[in-house]
Amino acid sequence: MNRNTSAIYQDLDQILVTREEIAAKVQELGLQITRDYAGTSPVMICILKGACLFFTDLIREIDLPLTTEFMAISSYGSATKSSGVVRIMKDLDNDILDKDVIIVEDIVDTGITLNYLTKILKQRGARSLKIAAMLDKKARRKVENLQVDYVCFDIPDAYVVGYGLDFDQRYRNLPDIGVLSPRIYGNG
């Protein structure tokens, strides 16, 4: 998709992270995880739907006999603000007892979603549990002591879309990550 000619890109105020920057960073992270988990077979959990593109790119950069799982979570609230109440819509297919688990998430915002998720996955007896997030909006964190082990990009407090991230289920197919224009969600 050409960012200069695509009509979808007209809805963005700004491109924050380009596809080239994403690819370089994902490759770097893949190498780091390969080193950190040498000799193990981690279970990589993709948090649907937002982390889908990040996940599929990342696992191809990890040279380990890993396995994949998918989990869908819904956070109640309006489209651009999460409420803090989390519900599992699709659970793991296999148990994670004594496994080395890496949760792959699109973005950490308040941290409420991941705080909840890590708690329940720890209860299921994972041997180790780490978080890999594409984006981190540190300024908005509400949960203290949430350890995000791997982050590709720290970003400012803005609503972003693309590379798997949506607004109202749209924009997930943008190859770059950008700031959605407030006129699209009704504040501008």
Residue (101 or 160) nearer to ligand 5GP, CB: 160
Site of tokens 């924050």: 16
Residue (113 or 118) nearer to ligand 5GP, CB: 113
Residue (61 or 166) nearer to ligand 5GP, CB: 166
Q: How far is the CB of 43 from ligand 5GP (least distance, A)?
A: 19
Asked whether the beta carbons of 49 and 72 are under 8 A apart, the reply is yes
Q: Where are the alpha helices (DSSP H) in the chain?
A: 19-36, 52-59, 112-123
Q: Which regions of the chain does DSSP assign to beta strands (E)?
A: 12-17, 43-48, 67-78, 81-90, 100-108, 128-136, 150-154, 160-161, 177-180
Residue among 89, 77, 82 nearest 107 (CA): 82
Catalytic residues: 109
Residue (1 or 79) nearer to ligand 5GP, CB: 79
Q: How far is the CB of 103 from ligand 5GP (least distance, A)?
A: 11
The strand order across the sheet containing 12-17 reads: 12-17, 177-180, 160-161
Asked whether the beta carbons of 114 and 108 are under 8 A apart, the reply is yes
Q: How far is the CB of 84 from ligand 5GP (least distance, A)?
A: 7
Binding site for ligand 5GP (CB under 6 A): 50, 75, 82, 105-113, 159-161, 165-167
